[in-house]
């Protein structure tokens, strides 16, 4: 279905002369498909094309959507300064509550990634309120997911597990399979922190299967790293190494420098093989 979606978006981008608004939207949606598959250069090119076309036709909200994808590329590659600048510009351009909520959410993610958990929480709450006012169930589910991840970062696994369980259900009801898988991964991580390793492994393995089918490398890597953590807790060091070696192969191919650093640290912490 992703292949078919890409073909449709590519066809729509060629309608620029008689339907520039639709063509600009198709470009940023195409950029998002490239982002999911870690095709970073293609994603940036498509997002910037969308932004230029939107600016030329006064489509501020579409330009904001294009900046969102460009910012997501830099965020996933660990360049949070670049991502923040793009999300801030996105917030300035946003013409709808849903787009504004998306910008707030992404700024919250950057703040949380950089360790400013209070600012991250403030932005996530603002984002959730904006999504709720707009009646955007998918957006509110994503806000729940981010709040749960922040609770994990605060060392509150009980609260995180509850929030993320709600995020799993909300994402499923919204029909967003990618978000559902991300919520499963994070819920599994919270359950692991509570010592519920069997339930944790079931959720993370399910998420890994969904990400593999959809060919989303960065999330496959994150699942493998968490499965390695579970194996390490059980003193199954050989299994942990297998997970991390595979994760390293995927991360190298997808050019994920932040994940590669974490994988190398996990590998170095394992006892010598044999």
Alpha carbons 46 and 66: distance in angstroms, whole number:
9
Question: Residue 272 has what pLDDT?
Answer: 86
Within-domain flag for 274: yes
Within-domain flag for 91: no
Within-domain flag for 85: no
Q: Specify whether 161 is located in the same domain as 255.
A: no
% pLDDT > 90, the chain: 85
Question: Could you tell me the residue range of the domain that residue 127 belongs to?
Answer: 96-210
Within-domain flag for 202: yes
Q: Specify whether 9 is located in the same domain as 65.
A: yes
Within-domain flag for 62: yes
pLDDT tens readout for residues 110-120: 999 999 999 99
Query: Please, what is the angle between helix 177-193 and helix 137-153, to 10°?
Result: 20
What total of structural domains would you count in the chain? Answer: 3
Alpha carbons 129 and 148: distance in angstroms, whole number:
16
Question: Residue 161 has what pLDDT?
Answer: 97
Mark which of 55, 80, 105 sits at the end of a domain. Answer: 80
Give the CATH number, domain containing residue 191: 1.25.40.10
pLDDT tens readout for residues 52-96: 999 999 999 999 999 999 999 999 888 999 999 999 999 999 999
Q: Specify whether 250 is located in the same domain as 265.
A: yes
Within-domain flag for 5: yes
Residue 2 has pLDDT above 80, yes or no: no
pTM: 0.87
Give the CATH number, domain containing residue 9: 1.25.40
Residue 112 makes CB contacts below 8 A (sequence gap 6+) with 120, 121, 146, 149, 150, 153
Q: What is the DSSP letter of 273?
A: P
Mark which of 80, 106, 124 sits at the end of a domain. Answer: 80
Q: Specify whether 115 is located in the same domain as 202.
A: yes
pLDDT tens readout for residues 19-63: 999 999 999 999 999 998 889 999 999 999 999 999 999 999 999
Mark which of 80, 107, 129 sits at the end of a domain. Answer: 80
Average pLDDT over residues 99-116: 95
Q: Specify whether 103 is located in the same domain as 147.
A: yes
Question: Residue 118 has what pLDDT?
Answer: 95
Phi first, then psi: what are they for 222, rounded to 5°?
A: -65, -35
Q: Specify whether 205 is located in the same domain as 220.
A: no
pLDDT tens readout for residues 142-151: 999 999 999 9
Question: Residue 273 has what pLDDT?
Answer: 75
Confidence of residue 274 (pLDDT cuts 50, 70, 90): low
Confidence of residue 12 (pLDDT cuts 50, 70, 90): confident
What Å distances lie between residue 253 and 17, 38, 69, 220, 260, CA to CA? 37, 9, 21, 12, 11
Q: What is the mean pLDDT of the chain?
A: 94
What Å distances lie between residue 69 and 22, 45, 64, 66, 261, CA to CA? 17, 11, 9, 5, 24
Q: Specify whether 194 is located in the same domain as 231.
A: no
Alpha carbons 1 and 102: distance in angstroms, whole number:
25
């Amino acid at each position: 279905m992703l292949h078919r979606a890409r073909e449709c978006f590519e066809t729509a981008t060629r309608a620029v002369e008689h339907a520039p608004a639709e063509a600009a939207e198709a470009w940023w949606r195409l950029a998002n498909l490239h982002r999911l598959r870690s095709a970073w250069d293609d994603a940036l090119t498509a997002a910037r094309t969308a932004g230029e076309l939107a600016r030329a036709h006064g489509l501020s909200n579409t330009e904001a959507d294009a900046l969102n994808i460009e910012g997501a590329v830099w965020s996933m590659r660990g360049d949070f300064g670049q991502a923040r600048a793009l999300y801030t510009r996105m917030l300035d351009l946003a013409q709808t509550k849903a787009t504004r909520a998306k910008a707030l959410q992404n700024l919250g993610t950057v703040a949380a990634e950089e360790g400013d958990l209070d600012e991250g929480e403030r932005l996530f709450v603002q984002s959730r309120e904006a999504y709720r006012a707009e009646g955007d169930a998918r957006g509110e589910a994503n806000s729940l997911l981010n709040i749960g991840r922040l609770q994990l970062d605060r060392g509150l696994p009980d609260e995180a597990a509850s929030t993320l369980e709600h995020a799993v259900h909300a994402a499923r009801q919204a029909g967003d399979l990618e978000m559902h898988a991300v919520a499963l991964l994070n819920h599994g991580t919270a359950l692991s922190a509570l010592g519920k390793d069997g339930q944790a492994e079931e959720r993370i393995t399910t998420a890994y299967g969904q990400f593999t089918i959809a060919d989303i490398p960065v999330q496959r890597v994150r699942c493998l790293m968490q499965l390695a953590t579970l194996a390490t807790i059980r003193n199954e060091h050989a299994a942990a190494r297998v997970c991390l070696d595979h994760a390293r192969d995927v991360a190298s191919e997808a050019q994920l420098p932040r994940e590669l650093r974490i994988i190398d640290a996990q590998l170095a912490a394992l006892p010598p093989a044999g």
